[in-house]
């Protein structure tokens, strides 16, 4: 059984996601133990699903868009999961009609529904296109609308996405989200080189040699003990990413003795 490592790259705006993983030639029969174990495969599936949603978020939203939380008053709290999802879908339809009426861009969103463990209150977490908070409150009409701007860092808005998935691994997304295409290349990395990289995912210098113009955000490794396969997942950000420029500009204004202006966070209605 011959193992060839494949590199898959996804360009997501200011961010680059890289997957390095083993593949096997089709004309060579694979032994039973060559496949990842069910436990390993489950972990790989979870990582891929999580990273796919992070790619969608980083590629489709900007610091002009919003993080939203929709809550219910006691009288409007849904009876079950199905009703809660229906309430969310109805809200999104109202938002779409509003945006069409005022000639705004097509709505983009990622949404997760959660039910509180203590009181059983439902609420919804969303990443969505920017629009006036006052109008969002009127369109919701079931309770309080919490709103904040999206905060970007070396991982984009990955931390927010991971938080949403911890609440509920099932999510809704608009169909118009751009899904960054995969760019695949076989043979760039030998099995020996992959194992060298996997030994120390904190060795930023070695990882950053691989992709000029990028800094490493994070890298993680999964080992398949059955066949010795190594799976590397790495995320990078451009050295001239927008959030980096904004951070440098803020530091410069501070060092010059000028107060930096922050975008005000809308209060909930």
Query: What pLDDT tens digit does each residue of the chain (269 aa) get?
Result: 678 999 999 999 999 999 999 998 665 444 555 567 788 888 899 999 999 999 999 999 999 999 999 999 999 999 999 999 999 999 999 999 999 999 999 999 999 999 987 778 999 999 999 999 999 999 999 999 999 999 999 999 999 999 999 878 889 999 999 999 999 999 999 999 999 999 999 999 999 999 999 999 999 999 988 778 899 999 999 998 888 877 666 665 555 555 444 443 333 43
Written as six digits, the tokens of 224 are 């398949």
Q: Name which of 113, 174, 101, 83 is nearest 139 in CA terms.
A: 101
Q: Where are the domains of the chain?
A: 3-61+178-244, 66-149
Sheet holding 229-238, edge to edge: 183-186, 3-12, 15-24, 229-238, 214-224
Strands 229-238 and 214-224: antiparallel
Over its C-alpha atoms, the chain yields an Rg (Å, rounded) of: 22
Strands 145-149 and 214-224: unpaired
User: Which residues share a beta bridge with 214?
Assistant: 238
CATH value of 66-149 in 2.60.40, 3.30.70, 3.90.550, 3.90.1570: 3.30.70
Q: What does residue 203 show for φ and ψ, rounded to 5 degrees?
A: -80, 80
Q: How far is CA 217 from the centre of its chain?
A: 13
């Amino acid at each position: 059984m011959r193992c060839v490592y494949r590199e898959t790259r996804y360009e997501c705006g200011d961010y680059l996601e890289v997957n390095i993983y083993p593949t096997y030639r089709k004309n060579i029969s694979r032994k039973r133990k060559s496949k990842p174990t069910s436990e390993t495969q489950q972990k790989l599936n979870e990582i891929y699903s999580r990273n796919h949603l992070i790619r969608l978020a980083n590629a489709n939203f900007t610091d002009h868009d919003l993080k939203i939380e929709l809550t219910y008053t006691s009288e409007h709290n849904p009876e079950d999961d199905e009703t809660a999802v229906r309430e969310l879908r109805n809200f999104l339809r109202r938002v779409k009609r509003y945006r069409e009426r005022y000639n705004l861009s097509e709505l983009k969103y990622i949404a997760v529904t959660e039910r509180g463990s203590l009181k059983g209150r439902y609420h919804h977490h969303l990443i969505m296109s920017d629009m006036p908070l006052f109008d969002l409150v009127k369109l919701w009409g079931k309770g309080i609308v919490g709103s904040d701007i999206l905060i970007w860092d070396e991982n984009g808005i990955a931390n927010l996405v991971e938080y949403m998935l911890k609440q509920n691994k099932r999510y809704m997304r608009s169909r118009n989200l751009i899904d960054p295409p995969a760019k695949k290349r076989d043979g760039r990395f030998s099995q020996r080189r992959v194992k060298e990289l996997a030994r120390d995912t904190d060795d930023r210098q070695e990882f950053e040699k691989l992709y000029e113009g990028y800094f490493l955000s994070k890298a993680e490794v999964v080992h398949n003990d059955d066949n010795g396969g190594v799976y590397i997942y790495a995320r990078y950000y451009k050295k001239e990413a927008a959030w980096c420029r904004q951070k440098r500009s803020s530091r410069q204004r501070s060092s010059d003795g000028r107060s930096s202006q922050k975008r005000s966070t809308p209060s909930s209605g």
